Structures are given as C-alpha cells and as structure tokens.
Amino acid sequence: MAYGWQWADEDKTRYRIDKEEAMVRVSIFTMFVEEDMSLRAIAHKLTEDGIVPPAMSRGWKVKSAAWRPSTIHKILTATENIGTITICKTKKGITDSGTETRKPSDLVTAIPGGIPAIIPGELYELAQYKLKHNRIDKSHVHHKPEDFLLKSHVVCKTCGYRMGNVYRFYGGKAYGVYRCRKFYSKYDRCPDFPEIKADKVNAYVWEDCCRVFEAIEEIRDTIRARIEADVKGFLENSSGAQQVAQLRQELTQAEAERDKHAPGSYYYNLVSQDIQSKQAQLRKYEEESKHAEGSEQLLDIYQRSVLSFLDFLSTMKGRYHEATFKEKRNALNVLGVTVTVQSCDKGALEARHVETAKEWLSLTEAAELAGLTMDVLRYHIGKGELAIYKRDESHRNRYVNRDELNRFLATFSYAPRSVREDVQTRVEVQYSPIFSGVQSSLISD
C-alpha cells in the first residue's frame, strides 16, 4: 500500500486517505516547492523530526529509520498524489541463473480517479517542473549567478536542447552567453549551434514578464479560478455533514419503526436489513466527511503557496525592476517561463565574395571588401584561419592574398553585432498554459 493511503474495507476494494501520512506527503511538497529545500534536506528534516519512513511504517524489516532522498523523489513523482493509480507495473520473471526477479510489464495501466487525491494538480505540476530543472539550477553554480538569470529556462529552437551558460572573454572582460550544448557527437550535433549574450536576453525576458505582471487583476482571476477548480475536484467525492445528519435521522426513525414489530417477524427483519444498509452508508459518509476536513487543511496550504506569488505582484507593483535575483527566479518558475533562441538570420550570415583586380590586399582593404570589422579579421588571423604576408611595398603593413581571402570567406559565416544581439527577432518567450491568456491579450493589444 502506498504511503498516505490505507484500505477502506476488509475486502480491499477501495482506498481511504491516512490523515497523518497524507500530512507528511503534503509537508514534503511544501518544503520542496515553497521553501525550496533539496531532497536531501527534506530527508534530513523528516528524520530529525522522528517521522517513521514508509518502509518501516509498513512493518518491513529495514536497518535504518532514516529517510532517503530517493524516497522523497519517489513520493514527489508518484501520480497517486493526484488520484491516478498505476497497476501491472511489473511482472515475475526468471534471471539467467534461474532466480526470480521483476521485469517491466506490457500491461501497465493508469487509472485516473482510482485512488483519492492528496495533492492538488497545480502543486504537483509545479513540483515536477522544479524536479526537471533542479539538476541545472542546483549544480554548477556560477560565481555570479545574476549573470544567468534564465539558467535552465533557455532552449535551442533548432535542436530543442537546453542551452548552457558560459563566459566569453573580449578585451580582458568576461561576458555571459547562452550557448547550445548539443555538440558532443559529430554525428548528431546541432547544425546551427546558436549562442546569444545573456545580459541582453535577461533584460528582454524580464521586461516581457513585467508586461505580464501589469495585468495583475487578470492573473489573479486566472489563479483563483484554478484554485477553485482544484477545491471542487478535491471535495467532489465528499458527501459532507449534511448527508451524515440526514442518515442519522433516518436511522432513528427506522429503529423506532422496527420496535413496533415483534422480533423475528417479517417487518422486523425487513426494517433490520434497511437499518444495516443505512449504518454502512453512515460509516462511509462519516469517513469521507473526516477526510474532507483534512483535505480542506491541505488545500489551505496549497492556496497559501500559490497566492504568495500574488503577494509579490501586489508588493512590487510598478517596481518589478527592483526585484531581487531570488524574487525574479521564483517568478520565472511560477510563470513557467521557457525561452526559445533561434540562430541568426541565414541571409545575414553570408559574407561577401571579394571581386577585385588587385591580387594583394592590405588588412583595411580586405576587411572593407569582405564586409567584416578589423577586430573580426584580426581574431581569425590570430587563430591561424587566415594567412597574412609581408610585402616589399611596406615594412609595417601586412597583406592578404585575394584567393586566400576568398577561400577563408567560403568557409566562414559572420553576422554583425546588430544581428547577433537582436533579441526581438531571435528570442521567443512562452509561459505556463494558465498564463497564456494573459500573454495573448498583451500581444493583441
């Protein structure tokens, strides 16, 4: 039996929520999503608080009472949290040595609504989003994390891979850039391999987020509507106190009616059967009413977690550019921001073919005819990609052979800085589906 649930009857035909274990499950989601604790920190916290881990709570013979990060990860990713139970995950098998083992089953089946939900859908999805990005967010932290505000949010449009964060050095100064990381295999590398300056993209995306923040009332209505939907879905299977009171009244009337007849008579036995049926229904409704009370507490935690984002919007209204780095990162996570970067316009990458009667060109002439800057030309000369020669005409100047220059240009693609840093044409910002309506209305305006 999964941690957080128990069998509701002796025949094991349906599940019920174990209130204490369910609160532990919700606290794990709260610590992970709201308090931004790592899986290991959550495991340490539960162990220090004396919470019995799932295996030990089920009576299994385990050596330690300590929680493991892998257990926390399993709880966070389980679809049972949102009411979907998966059956026939594995089947019995035999190893080559003849021992029994478990193998993946082809009959695996997911049953939505097969088990009572404990975690609201939005909170579960936010936890999955954080798990997906934690490997990038929590590792390889840069000396200045502020240089890469969009770390783990930037994706290459060509290959779909997440773009990495590196520094480029120009004139002794470091500049952060987002760069496609799909370059390890020469057989499957990104054909465009785009990169773009991080500070330009950071400013552009946060400006776009601020435009979404300005529609605060619409965002508030969107989030509240989603919370109300979660509340309705969470309590739809709970009959409530009204049904309990009605059944108790009917039981009282039935018992009074039964007392009017002699024990063992037809009417006595008939009413007794009706009383037994109503007593079974009463136990069911009382149990569901108790769980509904616990669900309201869980939903209160969820609402406070989500609505804290609205508090940020209200507090920072008109001053979003003054937000701290942590506040910006939290806002990006709540909005579900994904930034797609495409390569430079192919037309802008075409360098000119040099047509001139002169066989030897000075560096100034070569740069002008090729449409390149002197800095770019000197950079590739320094890397040995373009040969230069001394000539008798001048002891100070260096010259480039026309044919050598054309050979270099045939294998070289270059976009001017104005094209490389044109974020409006190269960058596309997307948001979580619940905010798409806000974004669309801003675009149409």
Residue 416's CB is within 10 A of a number of other CB atoms, namely 15
| 250 pLDDT more than 90 | no
**Residue 433's Cα: distance from chain center in Å?**
12
Q: What is the pLDDT of residue 224?
A: 64
Q: Give the chain's mean pLDDT.
A: 79
Q: What is the pLDDT of residue 339?
A: 94
Smallest CA-to-CA distance from 338 within 74, 152, 120 is with 152
Q: What is the pLDDT of residue 47?
A: 92
Q: What is the pLDDT of residue 91?
A: 87
Query: What pLDDT digit, counting tens, does each position of 288-297 carry?
Result: 555 555 455 5
Express as a percent the part of the chain with pLDDT over 70: 79
Mean pLDDT (whole number) for 256-270: 81
Say how far apart CA 305 and CA 310 lie, in whole Å. Answer: 10
Query: Pairing mode, if any, of strands 109-112 and 84-87?
Result: antiparallel
| 249 pLDDT more than 90 | no
Q: What is the pLDDT of residue 199?
A: 92
| 31 pLDDT more than 80 | yes
Confidence band (pLDDT; 50, 70, 90) for 48?
Answer: very high
Smallest CA-to-CA distance from 158 within 138, 188, 201, 202 is with 188
Q: What is the pLDDT of residue 219?
A: 63
Mean pLDDT (whole number) for 128-145: 71
Q: What is the pLDDT of residue 254?
A: 79
| 120 pLDDT more than 50 | yes
Residue 371 to residues 130, 239, 265, 367, 375: CA-CA distances in angstroms? 46, 76, 108, 6, 12
| 340 pLDDT more than 70 | yes
Model confidence, pTM? 0.52
240-265 in b/e burial notation, b at 16+ Cβ within 10 A?
Answer: eeebbeebeeebeebeeebeeeeeee
56-74 in b/e burial notation, b at 16+ Cβ within 10 A?
Answer: beeeeeeeeeebeeebbbe
| 39 pLDDT more than 80 | yes
Say how far apart CA 369 and CA 362 lie, in whole Å. Answer: 11
Q: Tell me which of 26 and 367 has the higher pLDDT.
A: 26
- The domain segmentation of the chain, as residue ranges, is 5-119, 351-412
Query: What pLDDT digit, counting tens, does each position of 152-172 carry?
Result: 899 999 888 889 888 887 767
Residue tagged 């739809």 (tokens)? 236
Mean pLDDT (whole number) for 114-127: 87
Residue 423 to residues 329, 337, 401: CA-CA distances in angstroms? 20, 16, 36
Mean pLDDT (whole number) for 201-215: 87
Please give the backbone phi and psi of residue 389, each rounded to the nearest 5 degrees, phi first: -135, 155
Query: What pLDDT digit, counting tens, does each position of 393-411 carry?
Result: 777 778 888 888 888 887 7
Alpha-carbon torsion angle 432, 438, 442, 444, nearest 10: 100
Query: What pLDDT digit, counting tens, does each position of 86-95 carry?
Result: 888 888 888 8
Mean pLDDT (whole number) for 324-332: 85
Please give the backbone phi and psi of residue 371, each rounded to the nearest 5 degrees, phi first: 75, 30
Confidence band (pLDDT; 50, 70, 90) for 381?
Answer: confident
| 332 pLDDT more than 80 | yes
Mean pLDDT (whole number) for 245-250: 76
Say how far apart CA 138 and CA 112 lie, in whole Å. Answer: 33
Q: Which CATH architecture has domain 351-412?
A: Orthogonal Bundle (1.10)
Give SS3 for 15.
strand
Residue 350 to residues 274, 321, 343, 344, 367: CA-CA distances in angstroms? 87, 38, 13, 11, 14
Q: Cβ(308)–Cβ(34) under 8 Å? A: yes
